[in-house]
Homo-oligomer: A and B are copies of this chain.
Amino acid sequence: MDIQATMRDIGHKAKAASAELAFASAEAKRAALEAAADCIETSEAQIIAANGKDMAYGREKGLSDAMMDRLMLDGPRVAAIASGLRAVAAQDDPVGAVLAAWDMPSGLHIERVSTPLGVVGVIYESRPNVTADAGGLCLKSGNAAILRGGSESFHSSAAIHACLVEGLKAAGLPEAAIQLVPTRDRAAVSEMLTMTGSIDVIVPRGGKGLVGLVQREARVPVFAHLEGICHVYVDAAADPDKARAIVMNAKCRRTGICGSAETVLIDQAFYDRHAAPFINDLLAAGVEVRADGLLSELQGTIRARAEDFGVEYLDKIIAAKLVNGVDGAIEHIRRFGSDHTDAIVTEDAAAAKRFFERVDSAIVMHNASTQFADGGEFGMGAEIGIATGKMHARGPVGAAQLTSFKYLVTGEGTIRT
């Protein structure tokens, strides 16, 4: 296969499809998503069979248990994919909304109206459900999608993609509105990253390897999506019970998601009064606690090395450190954080305000678990990822964040003096 020619062809088709999609009716998009969901449900057996090939390939490649779990599809997971598409279908159409409207003394009436971005490239790794989530959100927002799934999920993604195409056909929308890159060759990814003529934005979803590749090679704009090095800061004025509940939940509910806490920061004043009961809770739950300074004297902890801070473990490991008040926490987070999600636990409104003001992460939380960093928990339905950059989209990226806008200006033969 000539990768460059294949990708160029995919790019041309996507561009053409996006020109039509831009003014596709809300109803047609909704119908396509519903029909795709129907197809996913009726194709459960084929999808699971395709997934079986991927699972065999994964075992051959010696994927970790965690990776194999992410790859695996069963009945409930296939059903969840279909219901995810239906949830996106049910959302308000994000295109064509009048975001603002005003009149000028010149006589002009100006409206800012939401429009699709154009063509969205999504590069992801093992989880095959991203094929449906990403394809669905792009369609909802009137964007053509070029999806490049992980080589491990090659067959599963193809089976899911076939249903998306069924949905498009059923609704009379261009089939090229959602294309799946038909090769495992990594050269296709490099190609996508430089297709400035046909891709408007790239959304990378994956680990450090992918992020690094994107940072080095991308010429197309990217929704930055770095690591989730999330912190929980327990302030002097924290309620100890809330602190225990939040620290445990933030670390342990699921350790493999990007909103999982990787470091707990404890105000020295809190520690002096209450010690650190959540550290015992964590240890009891089987979490390895890499503790700095005084904290490392607590039984069961391991002495932290400098390089244990600012690490995305995605595992039953947490770094812990004493800091000097909210400013100490802010300073630590600025230095070691990844602008994803950081939380303060405190009953002191002034401390919370200072933390909200000075921590410049996509999501800043007060008395809540970092595990809420999720499009669903924000009421956005599905998400295409969590953006840690500040350009265009930030935080959970749903359909609305996949739009741009244009100005529609109406006069009555109005000229400028």
In the assembly, what is the distance between CA of A358 and CA of B115, in Å? 11
Residue A272, interface by CB 8 Å: no
Q: How far is the CB of A348 from chain B (nearest CB, A)?
A: 14
The answer to whether A361 touches B406, judged by C-beta atoms less than 8 angstroms apart, is yes
In the assembly, what is the distance between CA of A171 and CA of B215, in Å? 38
The answer to whether A409 touches B246, judged by C-beta atoms less than 8 angstroms apart, is no
- For A389, the chain B residues whose CB sits under 8 A away are 221
Hey, what's the 0/1 contact readout for A183-211 against B, CB within 8 Å counting as 1?
A: 00000000000001000110000000000
- For A76, the chain B residues whose CB sits under 8 A away are none
The answer to whether A415 touches B360, judged by C-beta atoms less than 8 angstroms apart, is no
Residue A416, interface by CB 8 Å: yes
- For A334, the chain B residues whose CB sits under 8 A away are 19
- For A246, the chain B residues whose CB sits under 8 A away are 413-415
Residue A405, interface by CB 8 Å: yes
- For A242, the chain B residues whose CB sits under 8 A away are 412-413
Hey, what's the 0/1 contact readout for A311-337 against B, CB within 8 Å counting as 1?
A: 000000000000000000000001000
Residue A350, interface by CB 8 Å: no
Q: How far is the CB of A411 from chain B (nearest CB, A)?
A: 3
In the assembly, what is the distance between CA of A117 and CA of B390, in Å? 6
- For A200, the chain B residues whose CB sits under 8 A away are 390-391
Residue A118, interface by CB 8 Å: yes
The answer to whether B369 touches A414, judged by C-beta atoms less than 8 angstroms apart, is yes
Q: How far is the CB of A31 from chain B (nearest CB, A)?
A: 20
The answer to whether B357 touches A406, judged by C-beta atoms less than 8 angstroms apart, is no
Hey, what's the 0/1 contact readout for A93-133 against B, CB within 8 Å counting as 1?
A: 00000000010101010100001011000000000000000
The answer to whether A367 touches B201, judged by C-beta atoms less than 8 angstroms apart, is no
In the assembly, what is the distance between CA of A392 and CA of B404, in Å? 7
Q: How far is the CB of A164 from chain B (nearest CB, A)?
A: 24
Hey, what's the 0/1 contact readout for A9-41 against B, CB within 8 Å counting as 1?
A: 000000000010011000000000000000000
- For A108, the chain B residues whose CB sits under 8 A away are 368, 372, 377
- For A62, the chain B residues whose CB sits under 8 A away are none
- For A367, the chain B residues whose CB sits under 8 A away are 410-414
- For A19, the chain B residues whose CB sits under 8 A away are 334, 360
The contact of A368 among B391, B392, B409, by CB within 8 Å, is: B409
Where chain A touches its partner, the secondary structure class is mixed
The contact of A104 among B241, B357, B377, B392, by CB within 8 Å, is: B377
In the assembly, what is the distance between CA of A118 and CA of B394, in Å? 14
Q: How far is the CB of A121 from chain B (nearest CB, A)?
A: 13
Instruction: Name A393's closest neighbour in chain B (CB-CB).
Output: B392
The answer to whether A221 touches B366, judged by C-beta atoms less than 8 angstroms apart, is no
Residue A213, interface by CB 8 Å: no
Instruction: Name A370's closest neighbour in chain B (CB-CB).
Output: B416
Instruction: Name A200's closest neighbour in chain B (CB-CB).
Output: B390
- For A406, the chain B residues whose CB sits under 8 A away are 360-364, 394-395
- For A409, the chain B residues whose CB sits under 8 A away are 363-366, 368, 372
Hey, what's the 0/1 contact readout for A144-182 against B, CB within 8 Å counting as 1?
A: 000000000000000000000000000000000000000
In the assembly, what is the distance between CA of A159 and CA of B368, in Å? 50
Q: How far is the CB of A339 from chain B (nearest CB, A)?
A: 9
| Residue of A110, A115, A357, A413 most packed against chain B (CB within 10 A) | A413
The answer to whether B356 touches A408, judged by C-beta atoms less than 8 angstroms apart, is yes
In the assembly, what is the distance between CA of A362 and CA of B357, in Å? 33
Instruction: Name A367's closest neighbour in chain B (CB-CB).
Output: B411
In the assembly, what is the distance between CA of A334 and CA of B23, in Å? 15
- For A364, the chain B residues whose CB sits under 8 A away are 406-409
In the assembly, what is the distance between CA of A367 and CA of B411, in Å? 5
In the assembly, what is the distance between CA of A416 and CA of B356, in Å? 21
Hey, what's the 0/1 contact readout for A365-388 against B, CB within 8 Å counting as 1?
A: 111110110000111000000000
Could you show 11 A-B contacts with beta carbons less than 8 Å apart?
Answer: A23-B358, A108-B368, A110-B379, A196-B215, A221-B389, A241-B413, A242-B412, A245-B413, A246-B414, A367-B414, A368-B413
Query: Nearest 3 A-B pairs (CB), nearest first?
Result: A368-B411, A242-B413, A249-B415
